[in-house]
């Protein structure tokens, strides 16, 4: 598989994104999945606008959803030669929030299963990561990543430990 050409959802991601997300009047998951990855052109346009840097392209990202304010969730293709499912998941918010929210797709499935979306995982103001298990998403996570079971808090903590420089790297690209 060539990552630069891969615009198909992995089966595990497609299964998770097929489950409806409950916003619960602001107490649930603020996540709106896309039906497909953004095109390369749309990803480039978004990343240039987000950073204010027209010299960049968005080739290192596969955007698959957004929160209600327009922040994007994406795979960050930082592990050369590794499949998409082994790449970390990041969030770049409409108000400048950034964060690696999961180390890979398996962790992302458990983040969702525990009732936490990408926005909530990257929220800068100490988001409430109280476990709110979702039966349907837990079934997806059990099916595709049974050995990766952990709470949303643990998923976010492990991602931050593995990729501590993500926020700084992204901010250095901004103009």
Q: pLDDT, tens digit, for every residue of 55-99?
A: 999 999 999 999 988 999 999 999 999 999 999 999 999 988 899
Q: Write phi, then psi, for 148 (nearest 5 degrees).
A: -105, 10
**8 A C-beta contact, residue 111 and residue 137:** no
90: β partners: 74, 100
Q: Is the pTM for the entire model greater than 0.95?
A: no
Average confidence score pLDDT of the chain: 91
Q: Write phi, then psi, for 150 (nearest 5 degrees).
A: -165, 165
Angle at 157 between CA 50 and CA 19, to 5 degrees: 70
Residue 24 is predicted with a pLDDT of: 76
Residue 132 tokens read as 């709110």
Average pLDDT of the segment spanning 22-31: 80
CA distance 102 to 161: 11
Question: Where are the domains positioned within the chain?
Answer: 3-168
Q: Write phi, then psi, for 142 (nearest 5 degrees).
A: -60, -40
Confidence of residue 1 (pLDDT cuts 50, 70, 90): very low
Note the pLDDT tens digit of each residue in 120-150: 999 865 556 678 899 999 999 999 999 999 9
Q: State whether the Cα torsion 130-68-55-3 is positive or negative.
A: positive
Residue 156 tokens read as 């976010």
Residue 103 tokens read as 């180390």
């Amino acid at each position: 598989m060539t990552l630069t050409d891969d615009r198909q959802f992995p089966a595990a991601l497609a299964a998770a994104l097929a489950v409806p997300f409950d916003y619960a009047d602001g107490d649930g998951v603020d996540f709106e999945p896309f039906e497909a990855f953004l095109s390369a052109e749309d990803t480039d346009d978004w990343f240039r606008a987000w950073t204010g840097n027209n010299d960049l392209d968005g080739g290192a990202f596969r955007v698959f959803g957004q929160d209600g304010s327009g922040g994007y969730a994406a795979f960050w293709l930082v592990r050369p030669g590794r499949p998409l499912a082994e790449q970390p998941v990041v969030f770049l918010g409409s108000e400048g929030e950034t964060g690696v929210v999961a180390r890979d797709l398996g962790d992302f499935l458990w983040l969702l299963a525990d009732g936490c979306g990408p926005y909530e995982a990257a929220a800068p103001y100490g988001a409430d990561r109280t476990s709110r298990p979702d039966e349907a998403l837990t079934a997806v996570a059990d099916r595709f990543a049974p050995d990766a079971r952990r709470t949303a808090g643990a998923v976010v903590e492990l991602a931050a430990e593995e990729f501590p420089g993500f926020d700084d790297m992204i901010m250095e690209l901004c103009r």
